[in-house]
Structure 1
Amino acid sequence: LKLLNLTNNNITLLLDSHLRGMRELEVLHLDDNHINTVASATFKSLESLEILTIARNKLRGLAPRMFLLLNRLKMLDLSGNAIQDLDPEVLKDVPALRTLRCSECGLSRVKSLVYRVIPLLETLDLRNNYITSLAPEEYMDLNNLRRLFLDGNRIFELKDYTFQGLALQHLGLARNRMEKISRMAFEDCSVLSIDFSSNKLQYSSFRHLSPVITHMHDINIANTHISPEHVREFLKRATRLKKLNLSRLNLNQLLPNMFTSQTKLEVLNLSSNGLQYIPVDILHSLPSLHTLDLRRNEFRGMPEIILRRLDRIHNVEL
């Protein structure tokens, strides 16, 4: 047996005796049950296990050495359990971990020692918790981290050197309470995709993305506090963008030369603004565009020249 899927059952108790004789098991799914406690060393006989998901159960905490002998575990999902704390004593038995998912776990912080015992981590999902701040060099022990999801927390500020040394493919910070990005927050790091949507950020903060913006492929600044003039200024150095979300910004007009640097842009979301008109020059400046979202604006009609240009775009939503 390589894979065992026990999701959506009525399991309330899990004992090590239940799992004996499954030494070849590589994948175990226990999501959406009613498990409220898992004792230390419960999984010790699963020496080949690589994927373990226990999402959306009723765990209130994690027992020390709960994952004893799971040396090959690469993916662990604890999402939707009110564990409230991550302890290095719990995770030190899974040094090969590549993906850790702890969304909706009631976490207010993660101890730095946790990251030291799982240094090979590539994906960290901490969405929808109660994290209020990140320390300088918070992730300094996670040199392999590529995807970091912090959406839906209560982070107010990004401090200097928060992401120092990281080469992130994606950084999710949507739906926080962010009002400030310190000048050196993105110093000595790289980020290809970032989601800042639904924060209170203004242009003075966005300027501090300068160390990373020239290499970025995907930016989402929907529902933030930035004016059309500042959007244009912000985008001047974002020359490699392929995907851009500018929805819900109250952009009642698109300024001339707004997208002159975005010759590689493929996907543009302008939905839920107050747009009544699109200058044809804007469309001509986006030769690579294949998807354009214009829903929930205030168009009352479009000139034929605009319609002909829109006809060249593969996917237009109005």
Structure 2
Amino acid sequence: MPACSTSLKRQLDGLDIGCHQKTCRRCRKYRRKAISFQPFLSLEISSYSVARNEEASNLSPKAALHTKQVVSMKNEQLPGSRRSSFQIASCRSTGAMRVLWWLAPLFLGSLAGAMCPPRCECDDAALVVSCEDAQLEVLPIQLNPEVETVRLRGNRIASLEFSMAFYTRLRSLDVSANVLQNLGPGLFQDQRRLMELNVSNNAITMISPEAFSGLTDLRALDLSSNQITSASEGGVWKGLESLWELDLSHNRLDALSAEVRRKSSRWDDDSDCAPLRNLRTLILDGNIFSFPPSNCLAHLDSLRQLGLADNRLTFIGEEAFPATMGELQTLNLQGNQIASLTPNCFSNLTKLQVLDLSDNNITFVPTTSLARLGALQDLDLSGNPISRIAPLAFQALFELRRLRVSRLSELEHIDPRALVENVRLEEVRLELCPRLKRLPPRLFHSNPLLTRVALRGNALQTISAGDLPLRQLRFLALADNPLRCNCSLLWLWKLARSSAQKLASRNPPSYGNHTPTWAETAGGATCWEPVPLRGTPVYKAPEETVGCEASWATVLMVTGVVLSLFTLTCAILFYCGGGGRWCRAETTDTPSSRINGIKEHYPQPPSSNMYHQHHLLHHHHMGLGPPHMWTDPDQVVPPEYEYATTDGGLISVKKPSTSNSLGVYV
């Protein structure tokens, strides 16, 4: 057998080859270069040789298609080792060709198995290839050219060039957790059917303009957890008119597009974000945005979900969310440094249903700003330094279903009217507030649909049965509160015991599959006081601890205190009713002070000297006495009713029934 045919046979057997100078002149120039052949390269050589003599082999349609695909490869698109393999195969020895004709059917007969690289799983029926954690350094080119799903997560692939052109029918490509550094222009030019592309968790620092220009059917693009510093270069998003989901979280972005000019009342249509007009989900969490990217958001009139968590936002102004964002339903602003919000900052978000403002620097509930969100259903204000929840704090939020106000380290007071207008409220989470020692009475009695209440990790010492809507609750959490196990928790103890008795009366099969409800465990509440019961669940506390029966000594002591208070009260009332000095104000002896004192409490009679004289006489000699009367100074008074005064004046003191001409002063 000629030397070239022997070398090719060794290649087909997967052995290391090296041409010999004495036996083959055509192969002499490869004498110093040993080529390490993998099984898939040997298959390519055989396919190349057989493709030139298709009449001499009996190939299936799929095998013929694959061989034509291999033959169509250009030499400049292949690495050096592969280019050398095809040059070796150019030895046109008749014996070598005959050997290939005999061996090709053996390899092509099991084409599916030979095309699947080691550590990969290939399903030709479903057109799925999975090579996760297979230690690959390049995207294999020997896969089925009709494959639709390729998973290459967790390899060491540094570039996708020279490989993507072989797979034009891809629907989903996952190259996450590799070592890709950039995405060059036109990289996906031939993947017009691709709908999902995941290049997350790589080392990408730059996206070249028109890198996605061929992805006309792409719906989801994941670029998260890279090192992208800029995506505002012209044409970066070109070709993504069909994109629905874009994930750029955990990069180093501070802008999505260059600054643009306005045309009258509309934004410039030539903006870099204009191709993203059909975008529905945009995730920008974990970047370095100081302000919301309003210039780009103005073009996203189909946006439903926006994530700006864990950025550097400090202020939300009126222009943060343009009027074109009227379809937005979910907004995540968690983990920023927001300290203030303007009253109209959310006025354009008329359909917003979920708002997350947790872990910011908000010191009070932004009632005015939230009142613009008439469709809001889920609100999270956890992790803010809010010290007080005022009355009607969540005013006009009639559609609110879920409220989270946990981890409020400064919260000390909640007004009982805080939730009055939230008639559709179903769940409240008020947890981990270390300064909240008391739950307002009847806080939840204006919420007829409330079924879930979480009060874990607060400083509550007691809870009254009237504080909670027990008849409608389906879930209650009371764990990690310093509760005092006394008669104030008797209702909770009885509730747990009653629920346990009902459970014990059920059939054994249902008991075995039953999950304890909050009532059976008293909501997870444990005793903090008395000290001997610290850490004991409330429903396991002894009955005498939570019982309200008092001893005879206690009854006598309480009775004595009550009687003492009653006696003291009666004495005070009796003394005041008898005209004691404690019950009337101190006055001076001057006539003017006495007259002024009487004027304050009684209607004033006509001004006369006789009245003043009678006033002095009355206070000095007559006490409060009977009703006082006065007459006109010119009126004749019968002698029996005349009284002389020290200055010679006359005073008339007649009973009211004696004469109708006399005035009466009481």
* TM-score bracket for the superposition, by shorter chain length: 0.7 to 0.9
What SS class does the counterpart of residue 140 from structure 1 fall into?
Answer: coil
What SS class does the counterpart of residue 129 from structure 2 fall into?
Answer: strand
**2:157 paired with 1:83:** yes
Out of 212, 231, 238, the residue aligned to residue 139 of structure 1 is: 212
Equivalent pair of 2:316/2:338 in contact (CA under 8 Å):
no
Equivalent pair of 1:185/1:208 in contact (CA under 8 Å):
no
The 1:281–1:162 alpha-carbon spacing in structure 2 relative to 1, beyond 3 Å, is same
Out of 353, 374, 391, the residue aligned to residue 304 of structure 1 is: 391
Aligned twin of 1:58: 135
Out of 399, 404, 407, the residue aligned to residue 317 of structure 1 is: 404
Aligned twin of 2:288: 200
Give the C-alpha shift of residue 148 in structure 1. Answer: 0.9
**2:154 paired with 1:154:** no
What SS class does the counterpart of residue 210 from structure 2 fall into?
Answer: coil
Equivalent pair of 2:298/2:322 in contact (CA under 8 Å):
no
Equivalent pair of 1:147/1:168 in contact (CA under 8 Å):
yes
- 1:31-68 Cα offsets, whole Å, 9 max, x none, are xxxxxxxx9722798532333322234333334x231x
Equivalent pair of 1:227/1:251 in contact (CA under 8 Å):
yes
Equivalent pair of 1:47/1:70 in contact (CA under 8 Å):
no
Aligned twin of 1:250: 337
The 1:194–1:147 alpha-carbon spacing in structure 2 relative to 1, beyond 3 Å, is same
What SS class does the counterpart of residue 148 from structure 1 fall into?
Answer: strand
Equivalent pair of 2:212/2:237 in contact (CA under 8 Å):
yes
What SS class does the counterpart of residue 150 from structure 2 fall into?
Answer: strand
Aligned twin of 1:234: 320
Query: Quick one: distance in 2 between partners of 1:313 and 1:76?
Result: 43
Name which of structure 1's ranges 182-191 and 308-317 shifts more when overlaid on structure 2.
Answer: 308-317
Aligned pairs (5 A) from 1:101-180:
101-158=174-231, 159-166=233-240, 167-180=242-255
Query: Quick one: distance in 2 between partners of 1:268 and 1:198?
Result: 18
What SS class does the counterpart of residue 393 from structure 2 fall into?
Answer: helix
Query: Quick one: distance in 2 between partners of 1:274 and 1:244?
Result: 17
Instruction: State the Cα RMSD in Å.
Output: 2.9
Query: Quick one: distance in 1 between partners of 2:183 and 2:209?
Result: 13
Structure 2 unmatched runs, 5+: 1-38, 41-61, 63-112, 260-270, 406-666
The 1:213–1:234 alpha-carbon spacing in structure 2 relative to 1, beyond 3 Å, is farther
Q: Kindly name which structure, 1 or 2, has the bigger radius of gyration based on alpha carbons.
A: 2
Query: Quick one: distance in 2 between partners of 1:138 and 1:61?
Result: 19
Aligned twin of 1:264: 351
**2:258 paired with 1:182:** yes
Name which of structure 1's ranges 124-133 and 186-195 shifts more when overlaid on structure 2.
Answer: 186-195
Name which of structure 1's ranges 80-89 and 267-276 shifts more when overlaid on structure 2.
Answer: 80-89
The number of residues matched between the two structures is 278
Query: Quick one: distance in 2 between partners of 1:233 and 1:174?
Result: 23
Query: Quick one: distance in 1 between partners of 2:187 and 2:322?
Result: 39
Query: Quick one: distance in 2 between partners of 1:45 and 1:78?
Result: 12
Letter of the 2:343 partner, please give it: P
The 1:140–1:113 alpha-carbon spacing in structure 2 relative to 1, beyond 3 Å, is closer
Equivalent pair of 2:294/2:321 in contact (CA under 8 Å):
no
Aligned twin of 1:8: none
Give the C-alpha shift of residue 315 in structure 1. Answer: 1.8
Query: Quick one: distance in 1 between partners of 2:357 and 2:154?
Result: 33
- 1:54-112 Cα offsets, whole Å, 9 max, x none, are 2234333334x231x341x32221111122221343x4443221111111111002344
The 1:45–1:257 alpha-carbon spacing in structure 2 relative to 1, beyond 3 Å, is closer
Give the C-alpha shift of residue 143 in structure 1. Answer: 0.5
Aligned twin of 1:26: none
Give the C-alpha shift of residue 117 in structure 1. Answer: 3.0
Name which of structure 1's ranges 122-131 and 78-87 shifts more when overlaid on structure 2.
Answer: 78-87
Equivalent pair of 1:187/1:211 in contact (CA under 8 Å):
no
Aligned twin of 2:125: 48
Give the C-alpha shift of residue 227 in structure 1. Answer: 3.6
- 1:4-29 Cα offsets, whole Å, 9 max, x none, are xxxxxxxxxxx89xxxxxx9xxxxxx
Aligned pairs (5 A) from 1:271-310:
271-306=358-393
Aligned twin of 1:225: 312
The 1:175–1:163 alpha-carbon spacing in structure 2 relative to 1, beyond 3 Å, is same
- 1:220-279 Cα offsets, whole Å, 9 max, x none, are 12232334244x312132221111111122112332112111110011111110122123
Query: Quick one: distance in 1 between partners of 2:296 and 2:122?
Result: 48
What SS class does the counterpart of residue 392 from structure 2 fall into?
Answer: helix
Name which of structure 1's ranges 265-274 and 275-284 shifts more when overlaid on structure 2.
Answer: 275-284
Letter of the 1:174 partner, please give it: S
Name which of structure 1's ranges 294-303 and 118-127 shifts more when overlaid on structure 2.
Answer: 294-303
Aligned pairs (5 A) from 1:5-20:
none
Query: Quick one: distance in 2 between partners of 1:118 and 1:40?
Result: 25
Letter of the 1:144 partner, please give it: D
What SS class does the counterpart of residue 331 from structure 2 fall into?
Answer: strand
Instruction: Indicate the structure whose relative CO is greater, using CA pairs within 8 Å and at least 6 residues apart.
Output: 1
Aligned twin of 2:100: none
Q: What TM-score results when the alignment is normalised by the length of structure 2?
A: 0.39
What SS class does the counterpart of residue 350 from structure 2 fall into?
Answer: coil
The 1:40–1:113 alpha-carbon spacing in structure 2 relative to 1, beyond 3 Å, is farther
The 1:156–1:82 alpha-carbon spacing in structure 2 relative to 1, beyond 3 Å, is same
Give the C-alpha shift of residue 171 in structure 1. Answer: 1.0
Equivalent pair of 1:160/1:186 in contact (CA under 8 Å):
no
Aligned pairs (5 A) from 1:29-44:
41-42=115-116
What SS class does the counterpart of residue 116 from structure 1 fall into?
Answer: coil
Equivalent pair of 2:309/2:335 in contact (CA under 8 Å):
yes
The 1:141–1:62 alpha-carbon spacing in structure 2 relative to 1, beyond 3 Å, is closer
Query: Quick one: distance in 2 between partners of 1:297 and 1:258?
Result: 19
